[in-house]
Structure 1
Amino acid sequence: MQPQESSVQYSRWEDGGSRDGVSVASGPGAEEASGWARVSRKLCSGKLGISLKVLGGVALFWAVFILGYITGYYVHKCK
């Protein structure tokens, strides 16, 4: 892997305002990062994000339940 070059610039407004400005410039992989950030933002927020989190939680619950059921069956099986 090649290290990504990035620079961070911080500037404070000199007119007494309380707003600060921070800008980040990434290296050659900036297009990929913005693409992944866009997909992540779309899948992890809003109604779609909530739906995916709920479905993931339900799927995880059933996977653990079935794994526990099968494990318990073999552990407590009569000989």
Structure 2
Amino acid sequence: MDSNGAGNVQYNRWNEDNINMNVEASQSTVMRIHNRVCVGSTGLAIKVAGALAALVSIYIIGYVTGYYVHRC
């Protein structure tokens, strides 16, 4: 029989101090900005403000275009 008993067996274990469970820190900067800006109530407010700005800019472009087209 082998003389290597169970006392000589070495186990590789995780060093629990080095396990990084912080998901926010491991995300890229772009993903953190996306999560902050595009999700939740802040994201909804930004989407509404963007839609309103797009509508106002289209209105202004139409007004200016109509002015120059129809001036006699």
Instruction: Please report how far the alpha carbon of residue 67 of structure 1 lies from its aligned counterpart in structure 2 after TM superposition.
Output: 0.6
Answer 1 or 2: which has greater strand percent: 1
Larger-gyration structure (1/2): 2
- Unaligned residue ranges in structure 2 (runs of 5+): 1-25
- Unaligned residue ranges in structure 1 (runs of 5+): 1-30
Instruction: From 33, 47, 66, give the equivalent of 2:41.
Output: 47
Pairs aligned (count): 47
1:76 alignment counterpart: 70
The separation in 2 between residues aligned to 1:77 and 1:40, in whole angstroms, is 46
TM-score w.r.t. the length of structure 1 is: 0.56
Q: How does 1:1-79 map to 2 (within 5 A)?
A: 34-78=28-72
Query: Deviation string for 1:12-54 (max 9, x for gaps)?
Result: xxxxxxxxxxxxxxxxxxx7x6111010111001000000000
Shift >3 Å, 4+ stretches? none
Answer 1 or 2: which has greater helix percent: 2
Query: Which SS does the other structure have where 2:71 is aligned?
Result: coil
The structure whose RCO (Cα within 8 Å, separation 6+) is larger is: 1
